[in-house]
Structure formats: C-alpha cells, structure tokens
Amino acid sequence: MNIITIHPTMRGCIGVHRALIRMGFPSNNIFVVLNEQTKTGCCVLRADSKEFWTGIGPYEKSFADFKRLWEEVANAINSGGISAVDVEKMYKSCVACKYADEFIAAIQKKGITVPNLKGIG
C-alpha cells in the first residue's frame, strides 16, 4: 500500500490524525469516522469534555467500508506497510498542517486546551 493507492479523503484523515498527535493529544482521543448523513470522512478529537470535528472530504461508499479502510490503513502504518515518507507526505499535505494557526485557533475556540502549540506546521 502506498500514498497513491489510498483514497484521498483517507489520506487527509491520516494527516489530521498525525497532526493532532503531534499537538500532544493521545491517540485514544482521536477518531476517524464517516458522517453518513453528508458522506464526509472526518477526524474527531475528544478532549476537555468537548468534541472538535474536522471534515476532510467526500467518501461515497458505506460506513462499514470506510471503517474497514481506516483499520487497513492504520494497520499498514503501524506494521511498516506504508512508508514513513508517505505518512509524512500525508501529514504535510493535510488541512491541519497547511493552515496550522487557523486549525489550532479553531480547536481553542471550542474550549479545548492544545498541549503542544508548536507541534504542527
């Protein structure tokens, strides 16, 4: 598996997930989900008894397919099946990295404390 074969919305979810981890949030507080109503892949942060949703992009298939793909990609990253170079490219091209100041401000506006303000960008 490589960056070209991963659905673009999933690449964005991976990037935002990595950005939130670099900002100091624990991975068990970060969720990748499909909003079935809008068919949008999202990255969700739960912290300080609040939620911050980042809509990434469209995903035309089912929730079950999205979940299966996320698990497949996450396992591939953790096992080295996706190169660190590709993971870094997904991170660098995500909305959280491209618009780091605005992304951090949006999280803070929700009343969530960002542990590491210099973690992304």
pLDDT grade, residue 6 (50/70/90)? very high
Rounded distance, CA 70 to CA 67, Å?
5
* CA-closest candidate to residue 36, choices 19, 20, 59: 59
The answer to whether residues 33 and 4 touch, using CB atoms and an 8 Å cutoff, is: no
Q: Is residue 115 part of a domain?
A: no
Long-range contacts of residues 101-106, Cβ cutoff 8 Å, at least 24 apart: 103/19, 103/54, 104/23, 106/52
Does residue 49 lie within any of the structural domains? Answer: yes
Full-model pTM: 0.94
Question: Could you tell me if 10 and 41 are in contact, meaning their C-beta atoms sit under 8 angstroms apart?
Answer: yes
89's tokens? 């490219």
Q: Which domain holds residue 87?
A: 3-109
85 domain-assigned: yes
Number of domains the chain contains: 1
Q: In this structure, is residue 9 part of a structural domain?
A: yes
Q: How does pLDDT run across 30-79, given as a tens digit for each residue?
A: 999 999 999 999 999 999 999 999 999 999 999 999 999 999 999 999 99
